Amino acid sequence: KQEVTQIPAALSVPEGENLVLNCSFTDSAIYNLQWFRQDPGKGLTSLLLIQSSQREQTSGRLNASLDKSSGRSTLYIAASQPGDSATYLCAVRSNDYKLSFGAGTTVTVRA
Amino acid sequence: EAGVAQSPRYKIIEKRQSVAFWCNPISGHATLYWYQQILGQGPKLLIQFQNNGVVDDSQLPKDRFSAERLKGVDSTLKIQPAKLEDSAVYLCASSLGQGPERAFFGQGTRLTVV
């Protein structure tokens, strides 16, 4: 069974600082890994999708890396802004087609 | 492109009552998921459909929860009877397929059982 862990559970940084969010998974037999953003009371918004054959994906200030062999992914958010405050979730699609989530990292960016 | 639609957005019921949630996935998406997200936790998969067939319902409490996907499009999730611990956000998602495709989520239904 795929287990997904996100550390830290919460993070508070001053505006302008870079954010580093970690995700680890136990079974490296995966199709892809997806990072989501969740605002309070809202659904999940997809940020980045990394296929198992890729090492990283970039979108604007966001960059996600994937090391499948070690079961790790990192989401980098450059020059954080108060609008980046949210919960960030990673989800792993395993080769058995299941999409498993971590518990998320709640980010607060202080103005 | 229209997103995943869910209704209702909010529901408050008393324990032992029944409730139903509805989901309309993105057009053409063969795979549909229902997740339960308890406050402070990550989403937990309840059931996954591929077209109108069930792929995985291993974590669905089948004594009280049921789900169906008619004609491989819309889906309903029902709870009968509800318990206090069912209070959560119920998220529906869809994807083109089960492999490398991106999953898209709806806004969710927040259920409060009192």
Average pLDDT, chain A: 95
Nearest CA-CA distance, residue A40 and chain B, Å: 10
- Search chain A and give the residue with CA nearest B58: A98
Q: What average pLDDT does this structure show over B20-46?
A: 94
Spatial contact of B54 and B34, defined as CB atoms under 8 Å apart: no
| pLDDT tops 90 at residue B72 | no
Nearest CA-CA distance, residue B47 and chain A, Å: 10
Spatial contact of B66 and B20, defined as CB atoms under 8 Å apart: no
pLDDT value for B1: 59
CA neighbor of B1 nearest in space, from B94, B85, B109, B70: B94
With contacts defined as CB-CB under 8 Å, which chain A residues touch B99?
Answer: 31, 93, 97
Indicate which of A101, A105, A106 best probes the interface with B, i.e. most B CBs within 10 Å of its own CB: A101
Q: Within 13 Å of residue B56, how many CA atoms lie on the same side as its CB? A: 18
With contacts defined as CB-CB under 8 Å, which chain B residues touch A6?
Answer: 42
pLDDT value for A40: 87
CA neighbor of B111 nearest in space, from B32, B49, B37, B23: B37
